[in-house]
Amino acid sequence: MHVLFVLPRSYPYHGGYENSIFSLAKYLVANGHRATVFTTTANDLEAFWLPGFRTFPEEQLAIDGVAVRRFPIDYNALRRRATRLLGLAPYWRWKAQHWRPSFRVPGLAEALRNADADLIHVGPLPYNSLMYAGLHAGELRRIPVVATPCSHLGEPGSRAVRRHYLQPHQVALLRHCDKVFCMTATERDQLRALGVPEQKLAVTPFGVDLRNVVGGAPDFLRRKHQIDGPVVLHLGMKAYEKGSEALVEAMKLLWERGSDAWLVMAGPSLSTFDTFVASAGRDCPRLLNLPPFADAEKRDLLASATIVAQPSRVESLGLVLIEAWANRKPVVTADIEVSRELVQSGGGVTVPFGDAQRLAQELEKLLRDPAARERMGASGYQKAMEYQGDTVWQRFVDEFDAVLLAGRALE
């Protein structure tokens, strides 16, 4: 079986979706299959639309047996605006290709038509233009297309997030796929309610390779950065939607009350967050803002943490929570449906998104209660064992096989 993955960014970019797809691709190769990744040159999020941000070279290479091809993005503003006009038409195929947040990737469509894949995997939302390119190639060539959309549902009762992920043209795109892999039962139920056929939906969450997240040095931050005292850790993209700004505001409240806890934030960031942190200045005496990290450093960061705080409203699963639990760390997350589904077993607490006061209260409670931290960490560890990498990746392979078998039966 040869699986072709189409996604916006890939290794060495480190993100939950990107890491997971690359782990799945490596698992396929290790088990006698072939895996190819078609992706773009974007590194920074802004690089999808604007020149001047970090990118990777346009190249073709093999990484751990996985063939990777990066396609350049066309930054011509006039062409982008012209194609956006097509997205105004009330036709889902045009909207999927051209409406926001679309971007042009010359050469991708032709490469998809010529690739020798048996199955095409697309995702995530809201990058519908890339997903549609994969779907259209599969339709033209009669190759099965599957999707892992990682739909973000946001807070209950609010459309602020889901309106970017569950628009009619996006749902139509998923309905035309042969299989849609959902991270949680919550996501499955939402997509089913929106008209994606139940037989096309499977709850098949991503997994965590424990070798990449456990076994770090608990004194790493003290040794490398001279940090003393408890550590509240925030891993991954730093942005408003990830709750990063609310977390800084919450820690400022604790520091005003005399807390000796550190806030360590590690990972890429949007330029808006960089501006926010710069303006905070002297109000953040115990903030350590770190750049993106390698796997070895992630292990050390997790081992050094007292609490892992990910108060994000843009999650489809929450792999950082699972990585924290693998290290027996309690978590604090935003009160969104998918995170609530995860933490209901007792591995952490949820707070309303963007509520710095409530966030500060919950962090303060946990910082003062080592018994509660230990109890939550132990409960979370049991939950994390359900997401061990190889077991989860094999479920995907089995689903791929079933899709291919069903396709052959119809021939």
What whole-number distance in Å separates Cα of residue 63 and Cα of residue 12?
10
The 10 Å Cβ neighbour count of residue 228 is 10
Residue 288 to residues 28, 262, 301, Cα–Cα distance (Å): 38, 7, 12
Give me the pLDDT at residue 411, please.
Answer: 58
What whole-number distance in Å separates Cα of residue 283 and Cα of residue 274?
15
Task: For 130-182, give the DSSP string.
Answer: HHHHHHHHHHHHT--EEE-------STT--TTGGGT--HHHHHHHHTSSEEEE
What whole-number distance in Å separates Cα of residue 40 and Cα of residue 108?
9
Q: Is the peptide bond before 12 cis (omega within 30 degrees of 0)?
A: yes
What whole-number distance in Å separates Cα of residue 355 and Cα of residue 373?
22
The 10 Å Cβ neighbour count of residue 315 is 28
Amino acid at 50: L
- Digit-by-digit pLDDT tens for the chain (411 residues) are 999 999 999 999 988 899 999 999 999 999 999 999 999 999 999 999 999 999 999 999 999 999 999 999 999 988 888 888 888 889 999 999 999 999 999 999 999 999 999 999 999 999 999 999 999 999 999 999 999 999 999 988 888 999 999 999 999 999 999 999 999 999 999 999 999 999 999 999 999 988 889 999 999 999 999 999 999 999 999 999 999 999 999 999 999 999 999 999 999 999 999 999 999 877 899 999 999 988 889 999 999 999 999 999 999 999 999 999 999 999 999 999 999 999 988 999 999 999 999 999 999 999 999 999 999 999 999 999 999 988 999 999 999 999 999 877 665
Q: How far apart are the first and last CA of the chain?
A: 18
What whole-number distance in Å separates Cα of residue 283 and Cα of residue 408?
63
What whole-number distance in Å separates Cα of residue 349 and Cα of residue 340?
9
Domains (ranges, CATH) in the chain? 2-207+388-410 (3.40.50.2000), 210-387 (3.40.50.2000)
Structure tokens at 123: 């995702």
What whole-number distance in Å separates Cα of residue 103 and Cα of residue 75?
8
The 10 Å Cβ neighbour count of residue 230 is 18
Pairing of strands 60-63, 179-182: unpaired
- Lateral strand order in the sheet of 145-147: 60-63, 66-71, 34-40, 2-6, 119-122, 145-147, 179-182, 201-203
The residue count for the chain: 411
Q: What is the pTM of this model?
A: 0.92
Q: Are 67 and 37 in contact (CB under 8 A)?
A: yes
What whole-number distance in Å separates Cα of residue 43 and Cα of residue 53?
8
Give me the pLDDT at residue 283, please.
Answer: 85
Q: Which residue has the tokens 């990746």?
A: 393
For residue 146, what are the β-bridge partners?
Answer: 121, 179
What whole-number distance in Å separates Cα of residue 305 and Cα of residue 310?
13
Q: How would you label 154-191 residue by residue, b for 16+ Cβ within 10 Å and e otherwise? A: bbeeeeebeebbbbebbbbbbebbbbbbbbbebbbebb
